[in-house]
Homo-oligomer: A and B are copies of this chain.
Amino acid sequence: MSEYIDHDPSGATVGIIEKQYFTFAQPPDLLPLESGSSIGPVTVCYETCGTLNQDKSNVILVLHALSGDAHVAGYYHAQDPKPGWWDIMVGPGKAMDTDRYYIICSNILGSCMGSTGPSSVDPDTDKAFATDFPMITIGDMVQCQKALMDHLGIEKILCAIGGSVGGMQVLEWCVRYPEMIASAIPIATTTRHSALAIAFNEVARQAIMADPNWNQGHYYGKEKPDMGLAIARMIGHITYLSDEAMRLKFGRKLQNRSALSFEFGAEFQVESYLQYQGNKFIERFDANSFLYITKAADYFDLARDYGKGSLVKAFTKANTKFLVVSFTSDWLYPTYQSKEMVKAMKKNDLDVSFCEIDAQWGHDAFLLPNPRFSSLVKGFLKGACHGQ
């Protein structure tokens, strides 16, 4: 996802939020992973907003995308200039109304934003795992979230919601722990990563691994593979926008000049934008985490893992009310992929609403203010409450 939205014009906020940590899978009770490996202890960084009601029936589990974190809404301190990444959607009176719902968002396994990942210290060696970190899957991420729910004593989730890689986790939850998920909103996502999406991820990974500073992943405490990670991020950003979005946002406008300079470097605004995004990303994200999480996304294939190749069979055990959302200009996870999952859900007689939202900002649209999208989520959540 590209730019997180700064301040909500409504001014409504969940206020100051604190990071929390939960550690489980202490040896010898390691967490078994889908790859056949296991890992432990595992720390999950999470945040909550709103108040858990007495019967614990108002939980919304927000699942973040590739480079996201647990900080879904609010501020860390009074002078914090920037709220959480989905602050436009989470807060008093907002789509995910914190006066009604208890929001939980945890950082995914493999990330570098507080949960255990390749940059974490391996207790066996007292060094960062680096590429000795085991390969992970979307299912493994969901297992960690389930452990967190157990820890918090939550047996039922009113709604699991997330976009992109977050949406994959939503779908995984619904088929892995069907009894726990009352309703779900997979947004701008897919039941299996397409060849095109794998292709973009693979080139991005190659860019990181080609950086001599990557050093087979063992760069902690040394120079980081910043150039490679910046290029990987630039590739990502192209896929988050759309031809139309780029035309409207940049066109052929030049950056800080009135005529072509006939030099290599950022002459066009779109070049400057991508370089800025690449350079901003290396300050906050770990290259190995990027490798592991994109691999997890590429492995994601609900039909293979749960339906022996049949997407209809994959949803057999699901017992969830769905709102599936896609955006017209999203070419990374195009609408036809959402329609495929809707079809498979309907064949299982599940209660499914589907909405393709007209938006020109490409895959990123789910992170941008959109009154139709907000009211859709708000209305669906109200219905989910009544349905309980």
Give the B-binding residues of A (Cβ under 8 A).
35-37, 131, 134-135, 192-196, 198-200, 202-203, 205-207, 209-212, 227-228, 230-231, 234-235, 238, 241-243, 246-247, 249-252, 260, 262-264, 266, 268-271, 274-275, 278, 291, 295, 298-299, 301, 304, 331, 334
A-B contact pairs, 21 of them (CB 8 A): A36-B262, A37-B262, A135-B263, A193-B252, A194-B243, A195-B246, A195-B247, A195-B270, A199-B238, A199-B270, A199-B274, A202-B274, A203-B231, A203-B274, A206-B230, A206-B275, A209-B264, A210-B210, A235-B235, A243-B331, A252-B301
Asked if B331 and A264 sit within 8 Å, CB to CB, the answer is: no
Given A210-B228, A231-B231, A301-B252 in contact, is the A203-B238 Cβ separation under 8 Å? yes
Query: In the complex, what residues of B have CB within 8 A of residue A131's CB?
Result: 264
Q: A235 CA to B234 CA in the complex, in Å?
A: 11
Asked if B234 and A195 sit within 8 Å, CB to CB, the answer is: no
Given A131-B264, A227-B210, A262-B35 in contact, is the A247-B203 Cβ separation under 8 Å? no
Query: In the complex, what residues of B have CB within 8 A of residue A202's CB?
Result: 234, 266, 268, 270-271, 274
Q: How far is the CB of A36 from chain B (nearest CB, A)?
A: 8
Given A238-B200, A334-B243 in contact, is the A291-B270 Cβ separation under 8 Å? no
Q: A37 CA to B261 CA in the complex, in Å?
A: 12
Q: A222 CA to B299 CA in the complex, in Å?
A: 39
Q: How far is the CB of A352 from chain B (nearest CB, A)?
A: 24
Q: A196 CA to B301 CA in the complex, in Å?
A: 29
Residue of B203, B251, B266, B275 near A234 (CB, 8 A) is B203
Known: A134-B262, A198-B271, A207-B231; 12 extra A-B contacts, CB below 8 A, are A35-B262, A194-B246, A196-B246, A196-B247, A202-B268, A203-B274, A206-B231, A209-B264, A210-B231, A212-B212, A235-B235, A264-B291
